[in-house]
Amino acid sequence: MLYFYNLFFIILHPLLFIFLKIRVFKKKEDNLRYLEKLGYPSIDLTQGVIWIHVASLGEMKSIHSIIKHYQKKGDIKFLITSVTLSSYEYFKIHFENQNTFHQYAPIDSPIIISRFLKKWKPKLSIFIESEIWPNMIIKTSKTCKLILLNCRISKNSFKRWKLFRKTFIKIMNNFDSILAQSDEVLNYLKYFNLQNVKLLGNIKFTNTKKNNLNIIKINNNNFSWAAMSIHNSEIDFIIETHIMMNKFKKNLTTFLIPRHLNKIEKIILKIKNKNLIYQKISDSKYIENLNGIVILDQFGMAEDIFSQVKFTFMGGSTIDHGGQNPIEPLKYGCDILTGKYIYNFSEIYNDLINKKIVTVVNNEKELANELIKKFDQKKTNTDKNLNLEFKTLSDEIFTKTTNFLDRYIY
């Protein structure tokens, strides 16, 4: 399998430059730095760095507390690579300094990875979550020690890798250590008889930084709730839930946070067809006693909502998508509700359900009833208790992770 994988890249190698130029034209790549993905650095080289590789914004956020911890320790030089533009924006705001650099991740071509490693010469490499790129892993392991931190393998990925068992074992044995994020992932890895595996917990719980920007002003949020990361096929579900609740709770404000912003007009049409009042955040960021639906049609506003509402329903869970990560609203003390399709994050949800921090619902009626009950109880699980649960778990995982990494970094 690896032979054909590399043959594919060798054949396509002359076309990769053209491929990136097309993506630049479509504004999917940084027009000044796209050559970094071919292994050409855009900044002065600092060899002997600790290289941390993440995929996108979520993984970049997950290492926030860990990077900040080591930046305070002294003269440690970090090179952080990522794939997406949004992940770089986060880096620039939170991590960038004289000892912490960013480059866009090299494409997993054997020629490009060799070029990248020759130029940077990392002394330690740490890949985050599910970044299982064969050439990046195999070639890096020949240069320095290599750790897979917060390893995540979904149920579907496990099924696929079972078909290529020998290849997967060959790739994963290049890691000095694989740190699983959950018991579920640990069991998947044990299936392959890997010996270099350890369970520390999910480092996404350690990102406790809150962004209380207060860009959005909510007047009278007693009966407000948020529907987060709602997929297009779940819009009707949220609208119907709002209608059911509105029979019992007047001045009910539903904050609808779509997963994708490319179909806002269709969402508005659905709301209008039900004769509901609505407001777009792009039109006004002040919500006063709105008995209707507020549509967050701009990115970066969700945490402002979490800091002001008590209850959040996580989307992607009423359809066979697998759910969305609940950690962001959790760190603001929100009670979490979700549908039954949560297998993408079952390792997180199982623990939260057992602690009664998350409630699972099967349909619109159940969601409406649960929210009404929580409003009437004035939230029996107080913000203080939820925050304490979250902080205790966060501190435990953070300590285990940094103690482990210290043995490699120092």
Per the structure block, which two tokens stand in for 234?
A: 């779940």
d(Cα 261, Cα 220) in Å, to the nearest integer? 27
Q: Which of 157, 180, 207 is the last residue of a domain?
A: 207
275-307 confidence digits (pLDDT tens): 999 999 999 999 988 999 999 999 888 989 998
d(Cα 144, Cα 107) in Å, to the nearest integer? 19
What's the whole-number mean pLDDT along residues 342-364? 86
The domain that holds 138 is classified in CATH as 3.40.50.11720
Verify that 322 and 197 share a domain, yes or no: no
Structural domains in the chain (count): 2
Q: Global pTM?
A: 0.78
Burial group, residue 268, by CB count within 10 angstroms (0-12, 13-18, 19+): middle
Verify that 50 and 124 share a domain, yes or no: yes
Verify that 231 and 363 share a domain, yes or no: yes
Residue 388 inside a domain? The answer is no
d(Cα 234, Cα 315) in Å, to the nearest integer? 7
Residue 383 — pLDDT band, cuts 50, 70, 90? low
What's the whole-number mean pLDDT along residues 311-340? 92
Verify that 145 and 223 share a domain, yes or no: no
Q: Which of 207, 227, 244 is the last residue of a domain?
A: 207
What's the whole-number mean pLDDT along residues 116-141? 95
Is residue 353 scored above 80 in pLDDT? yes
Number of Cβ within 10 Å of residue 156's Cβ equals 11
171: Cβ–Cβ under 8 A, 6 or more apart, which residues? 132, 134, 137, 138
Verify that 297 and 354 share a domain, yes or no: yes
Residue 407 inside a domain? The answer is no
d(Cα 30, Cα 84) in Å, to the nearest integer? 9
Residue 401 inside a domain? The answer is no
Per the structure block, which two tokens stand in for 35?
A: 């050559």
The domain that holds 232 is classified in CATH as 3.40.50.2000
Residue 222 inside a domain? The answer is yes
* 278: containing domain: 217-379
Verify that 286 and 312 share a domain, yes or no: yes
Verify that 68 and 161 share a domain, yes or no: yes
Is residue 389 scored above 80 in pLDDT? no
Given a contact cutoff of 8 angstroms between Cβ atoms, the answer to whether 322 and 343 are in contact is: yes
Residue 313 inside a domain? The answer is yes
Angle (deg, nearest 10), helices 110-120 and 134-141? 40
Is residue 183 scored above 80 in pLDDT? yes
Verify that 155 and 197 share a domain, yes or no: yes
Q: What is the mean pLDDT of the chain?
A: 90
Residue 237 inside a domain? The answer is yes
What's the whole-number mean pLDDT along residues 204-230? 81
Verify that 324 and 229 share a domain, yes or no: yes
Given a contact cutoff of 8 angstroms between Cβ atoms, the answer to whether 277 and 250 are in contact is: no
Given a contact cutoff of 8 angstroms between Cβ atoms, the answer to whether 270 and 236 are in contact is: yes
Is residue 59 scored above 60 in pLDDT? yes
Residue 117 inside a domain? The answer is yes
Lookup result for tokens 């069991």: 187
Residue 304 inside a domain? The answer is yes
Verify that 224 and 371 share a domain, yes or no: yes
Verify that 135 and 255 share a domain, yes or no: no
Verify that 227 and 194 share a domain, yes or no: no
Q: What is the pLDDT of residue 14?
A: 86
Give 154 or 127, the one with higher predicted confidence. Answer: 127
